[in-house]
Structure 1
């Protein structure tokens, strides 16, 4: 059982208030080079004419990976819309690479069309992640061409505009589910979303941003001390996921319902029209 540790940090900002990308090829532990090579080869073999570029994000390119705990998060930029591509091979590839390397805790291959990544007028999560957390490991590097981002309401909106629908999806996936691993995966996934949403609620006041769970929990608790214990529970469930759908649903019906209402209040102020993306 994992303990809650004071891990992670707020994003550093430059003199103009823009988020600085802390990822660097030189920070990647050498043992991940073989993992990255296999990821690249697998993607290119499966989609030889579709791969524009491949990126990794998260703890690995920041040199903050923990053996047996950290996963490898990958974003593959494709020329076509991924919804139009045959991606049946992805799950098997993720499992194969995960099982081949004992020091990683999973591989996640995410896909995004080039047209979405090239968005420069509005705040959008995938370009933001690449610009502020990613490094290119194959293809034409788009990062320098992407706009700079500040910790502001446009960024917060990316975490909050879909919160209710994501919680609803988690509830739908949990009801009647008897697959223990699937239940735990769903629990970890939705609790991470909840914790990061808590941090997003106070981005404007704090002028700070993080995707790391502990500092997001701390930022939230600073402004909502009466909800600190419940957010700490969400953090605990994110790293120690439950196997009981009933317990997860109970938490989402209580604290999840509260943070949904708080999000609606935030949206009433900063995004009353409920636009999917706000201007940069």
Structure 2
């Protein structure tokens, strides 16, 4: 690699691999593969992928979650979503090594569509590790840290803020606030990183490194972003933390993002 998450030709390198899965999570990954084959095998599943800290080799036992993406031959149905939820619950209950399971469902057609070329397509090609089936990355282009990629990956933060405010208002338990703080903090840090990604000239999914890179270009917001990175790894139940993320850092970041890169193409 040329450094900063790039291949020698300057394209963004795929960040995970099954060979990097920590030994403590090998059984989790094997069980996930088996359950996916059992539930979605046959004519429903085109391919399956694992992403996040586990295939990057940075997962922490008891704290990290298991993230999966399924590419289906057809558009996901309610029956597909129900089967995915059953797998999530079964894996989470069976393994103390993980703190939550998330399964994303899309059709292969959607993942390869022109509209998703620089969002979900990039996600599959660079951030997902093949687990089952034929790898869709073979049908996708190489990606570089461009303003186009920045706009299409995270140029819609403003659309998430109202829903986060509604969720924060309804959250009445520590677990609910912790879950929301982790989701919001991770999204904000990754948006902050892609804001400066073309200038930084590389790619990282590491929250701490992302916040550090952001702070170089926006020193006046550096401390807030560093705090968000910490919350993304160790979520907080403090309502004040959510307010700072959703009502201060988030709106500023959304406005700055739109000014620098423009807004993401509208989805139907």
Partner of 2:13: 20
The counterpart of 1:44, out of the listed 21, 27, 37, is 37
Q: CA deviation at 1:218?
A: 0.9
Partner of 2:214: 220
Higher helix share: 2
Instruction: State yes or no: 1:166 paired with 2:160.
Output: yes
Q: Which moved more, 1:18-27 or 1:143-152?
A: 18-27
Whole-Å separation in 1 of the counterparts to 2:212 and 2:36: 38
Q: CA deviation at 1:15?
A: 3.0
Instruction: State yes or no: 1:35 paired with 2:35.
Output: no
SS in 2 for 1:129: helix
Whole-Å separation in 2 of the counterparts to 1:230 and 1:68: 27
Q: CA deviation at 1:124?
A: 3.1
TM-score of the superposition, structure 2-length normalised?
0.87
Alignment of 1:239-258 (within 5 A): 239-245=233-239, 247-258=241-252
SS in 1 for 2:71: strand
Partner of 2:265: 275
Q: CA deviation at 1:130?
A: 2.1
Whole-Å separation in 2 of the counterparts to 1:238 and 1:52: 32
Structure 2, unmatched stretches of 5+, are none
Aligned residues: 264
Q: CA deviation at 1:105?
A: 2.5
Partner of 2:56: 62
CA distance 1:52–1:256, change in 2 (3 Å): same
TM-score of the superposition, structure 1-length normalised?
0.84
Partner of 2:146: 152
Q: CA deviation at 1:262?
A: 1.0
CA distance 1:26–1:46, change in 2 (3 Å): closer
Alignment of 1:168-247 (within 5 A): 168-245=162-239, 247=241
Whole-Å separation in 2 of the counterparts to 1:24 and 1:250: 35
Whole-Å separation in 2 of the counterparts to 1:257 and 1:165: 10
The counterpart of 2:108, out of the listed 111, 114, 122, is 114
Instruction: State yes or no: 1:87 paired with 2:81.
Output: yes
CA distance 1:142–1:255, change in 2 (3 Å): closer
SS in 2 for 1:201: helix
CA distance 1:160–1:33, change in 2 (3 Å): closer
- Alpha-carbon contact 1:23-1:61 (below 8 Å) kept: yes
Q: CA deviation at 1:189?
A: 0.3
Partner of 1:7: none
Whole-Å separation in 1 of the counterparts to 2:88 and 2:224: 33
Deviations 1:231-271 (A, max 9, x none): 12222322232224454124421222211221221134xx5
CA distance 1:83–1:22, change in 2 (3 Å): same
Partner of 1:139: 133
Q: CA deviation at 1:276?
A: 4.2
Partner of 2:68: 74
Partner of 1:103: 97
Whole-Å separation in 2 of the counterparts to 1:182 and 1:89: 24
- Alpha-carbon contact 1:124-1:158 (below 8 Å) kept: yes
Q: CA deviation at 1:113?
A: 1.0
Deviations 1:82-118 (A, max 9, x none): 2554412433421321231222222211111101222
